[in-house]
Structure 1
Amino acid sequence: MALWKSWQATVALALAGCGTIPDVTINYYYPRAKTQFAVTQTIGCSPKVTGKHRIIRSVISVAPSTTNSADVDWKNPDGSTHQGQLRYRAFHGSFSDADATVTLTPDGRLASINATSTGQADTIIKDVITVAGAVALLGVPPAGPFVETVEDQACDQVDKYSAIVAEAGAKNAALLTLTFNALITYTAVTGADPVFAIDNAISPGYDEQLGNQTSINFVPDVASKPAYDALKQVLGDRMTTMLKVTSTKENLRVMNSTAPTTVAPADGFPLELNKVALLNLEIDGHAGDMLQSSQIWGGVVPVPMRETYQVPIPSPAAFGKTAFGIGLSDFGSITSLHYGETNGAPDATDAVGQIAKALQPKTPEDKANALKGQADLIAQQQRLIGCQVSPTTCK
């Protein structure tokens, strides 16, 4: 009996001397999405010939790019920043080995626990450019005596601001390229229609369209504004290109786990994650002959919500091994979730189904290629419009 008590004491001392995970708490931010919409419009007019009406055509291209960052503006009722918390003690059991690795993004968002980080960085629809108005039939000019039309007046303005001027008797088509940019942030709440707002610090000129919006009219960049204003005085709403949310509270899809909203103590330690909504967006503009507005671009954007749910981290077993691993996308949605004896490797596809690229900083070469791509787009737009309005001089 004395020997048995002596063995118990020895085991207790040995266990007491084992290393333990310190009671460290990791705070992490939830993500917030911003989408940069870059819109390029090229307007062209046929060569100017005395006594003949001119033909006007428009091509519009849209290139969206979404980035995610820490939502430092999400506040608690007391004014403090809303953050998630993870205690390392959640992985420590009385007799079990404990090993925990938590990975955060550089700005403090949770990326993974005991799994390879799956942060997706900066694009949802990278390199997808929608071009509208590329196929537009040439209309029949008005019959009868020559009376200057709205299109003729608009082409005079294109001549004025174009780098290629269609002077009287000249063979060249007049071409003008306008650019528009807007940085959008989103708000999606269960039971309410989703809205967005303009980041005015990055996108100036939208003073009258700030706040919660369901649609905005694109404002021209500074360099394009004089030509745009001149054309708008002639063409009016035919110069309008509009971004709008087509999702409503009835058809808003919310991507979250099948886990319960809260975790009972018996289920383990709670890990709080944000829900992700899928917003439908659309851009309408006046392409082709510019007489009617039509859809230029449509897409689905994953948006982190300021709503959370909980996923249980299992309590460590007294004997044996309890495995847990989770990987998150840049939007906060679960890309992999593993319980039991698994390797913890993340799945290749994000649950939202829109992400394709790992988190990487932009290199000077990347930026140079992006600028080259934009220059090539403008050149091809101008070539297309030139061929449409002046087929005989198409190159």
Structure 2
Amino acid sequence: MRNTSIATLFAWMSLLHGCASLPNAKIGYHETHSTVKVTATRTVACNDQADVQIATDVSPSVSNAASNDPKDYHEIDLNDLEGVFSDASVKIERTDDGRIKSWNSSTNGRGEEIIKSVLSLTSVLSGGGIKNAAVPQDACSLVARFGKNGTLSLTYSAILDLKRKGPQDLMADPASNPYTAALARSLPPLAAEISSFSGANAPIVNLDKSGNTPVLHARQPGQLEFKVIDPNDDKKAVYWSGSVLVAQLGTPYEIPIPTPKAFGKLTLSASFSDSGALSSLEYIDTNGSASLVNSLSALAKSTASDTTAENVTQAKNEADLIVQQQRLVLCKASPSNCK
């Protein structure tokens, strides 16, 4: 009689397992690749002695996109998230180009802890400088003719080659190029120069080396230190120095995905910023066992991700910058008329 009951129990559990399951499929996603752009804004004005005042301000920006390196593409097999006597649910959010934004999975298992991590992102920016230069009268005539209110604002930019050593020239944008060419003898050139790279600590360390646990592959962005200089200056005058977060310079790590057991339930939730940095990580045990709560410290700094609202704000800030530069150089050129 007892053997019959045991056989019936296993037959019933096998029937339940066959009722529903995750599809036989894999979910793929790309890691992040960062592009660093350096933009410089210069405002020029002349005084009565035909001396020019030059105000220079530098703003770095980082744009992030899906890496096209095959090694940076990963897949999760949904079959690895199911067990014989378990339920499983999976939700992944991706960006338009295939990068992972968030992962939420719920499986049966014996969890032991809740881990929460909040990563603080801050932009790293600094101001520029003012430089005096003696210029021929024809240059001041050009400023007076083509400028506005006695000032002429010019913009330069460059996309940094992260593998290149030495200065990388900032080139005048098309709208500014005719004026920078005419003022070439008066305006010192601008160049960006990479100072150093530094990695980041992995926000979580996977201690399971068996290779049997499914994982999310991620990369904590690293810091790129660089400066903007006058490459022709023997003293290497620095207009700006600072750092930005770059995804491909970071530290790769793995986030273990809970696998099911016969009893209990374990939930994993993770989200990532535009740079690929881990924004939050949470494991929740709901089987009634004791939980251990640990907080991971903030790990990195970055320029903010580009959203529509932030782009509008950036455009407004750039316009305000030009206005303030114009006021500054006018004050330097004619202190008595400074407003």
| TM-score for both structures, normalised by structure 1 | 0.68
Match of 1:241 in 2: 190
Match of 2:114 in 1: none
Deviation (angstroms), 1:322: 2.2
Unaligned residue ranges in structure 2 (runs of 5+): 106-116
Alignment of 1:64 onto 2:60 = yes
Q: Is the 8 A contact 2:224 2:246 kept in 1?
A: yes
Deviation (angstroms), 1:356: 5.1
Q: Distance in 2 between matches of 1:341 and 1:355?
A: 35
* C-alpha distance 97-367 of structure 1, shift in aligned 2 (>3 A): closer
Deviation (angstroms), 1:43: 1.8
Match of 2:219 in 1: 274
Q: Distance in 1 between matches of 2:214 and 2:70?
A: 24
Match of 1:303 in 2: 246
* C-alpha distance 324-90 of structure 1, shift in aligned 2 (>3 A): farther
Instruction: Indicate the SS of the match to 1:114.
Output: strand
Q: Which moved more, 1:85-94 or 1:348-357?
A: 348-357
Deviations 1:361-386 (A, max 9, x none): x26xx666544443332222112111
Instruction: Indicate the SS of the match to 1:311.
Output: strand
Match of 2:154 in 1: 178
* C-alpha distance 387-279 of structure 1, shift in aligned 2 (>3 A): same
Q: Is the 8 A contact 1:329 1:350 kept in 2?
A: no
Q: Distance in 2 between matches of 1:104 and 1:185?
A: 28
Deviation (angstroms), 1:341: 2.0
Match of 1:125 in 2: 123
Amino acid in the other structure paired with 1:25: K
Match of 1:253 in 2: 199
Query: Which one of the candidate residues 101, 120, 124 is aligned to 1:111?
Result: 101
Deviation (angstroms), 1:176: 2.3
Deviations 1:270-303 (A, max 9, x none): 32223522111212259xxx99753222222111
Instruction: Indicate the SS of the match to 1:382.
Output: helix
Query: Which one of the candidate residues 169, 173, 186 is aligned to 1:217?
Result: 169
Within a 5 Å distance, the mapping from 1:24-63 to structure 2 comes to: 24-47=25-48, 53-63=49-59
Amino acid in the other structure paired with 1:159: S
Q: Greater share of strand residues, 1 or 2?
A: 2
Deviation (angstroms), 1:354: 2.8
Match of 1:50 in 2: none
Q: Distance in 1 between matches of 2:312 and 2:222?
A: 33
Within a 5 Å distance, the mapping from 1:193-232 to structure 2 comes to: 195=163, 212-232=164-184
Q: Is the 8 A contact 2:218 2:252 kept in 1?
A: yes
Alignment of 1:388 onto 2:335 = no
Deviation (angstroms), 1:315: 2.1
Deviations 1:118-139 (A, max 9, x none): 9x9xx9638x562322xx7x8x
Match of 1:18 in 2: 19
Alignment of 1:284 onto 2:229 = yes
Greater RCO, CA 8 A, separation 6+:
2
Q: Distance in 1 between matches of 2:6 and 2:311?
A: 72
Q: Distance in 2 between matches of 1:89 and 1:241?
A: 55
Query: What RMSD over aligned residues (CA atoms) do the two structures have, in Å?
Result: 3.6
Unaligned residue ranges in structure 1 (runs of 5+): 48-52, 77-81, 139-149, 166-171, 187-194, 196-211
Amino acid in the other structure paired with 1:244: E
Amino acid in the other structure paired with 1:297: W
* C-alpha distance 348-181 of structure 1, shift in aligned 2 (>3 A): farther
Match of 1:157 in 2: 139
Match of 2:111 in 1: none
Q: Distance in 1 between matches of 2:149 and 2:138?
A: 12
Alignment of 1:87 onto 2:77 = yes
Deviations 1:168-199 (A, max 9, x none): xxxx994322111223364xxxxxxxx3xxxx
Alignment of 1:353 onto 2:301 = yes
Deviation (angstroms), 1:335: 2.4
| TM-score for both structures, normalised by structure 2 | 0.78
Q: Is the 8 A contact 2:17 2:84 kept in 1?
A: no
Q: Distance in 2 between matches of 1:257 and 1:354?
A: 16
Q: Distance in 2 between matches of 1:163 and 1:369?
A: 31
The number of equivalent residue pairs is: 316
Q: Which moved more, 1:382-391 or 1:90-99?
A: 90-99
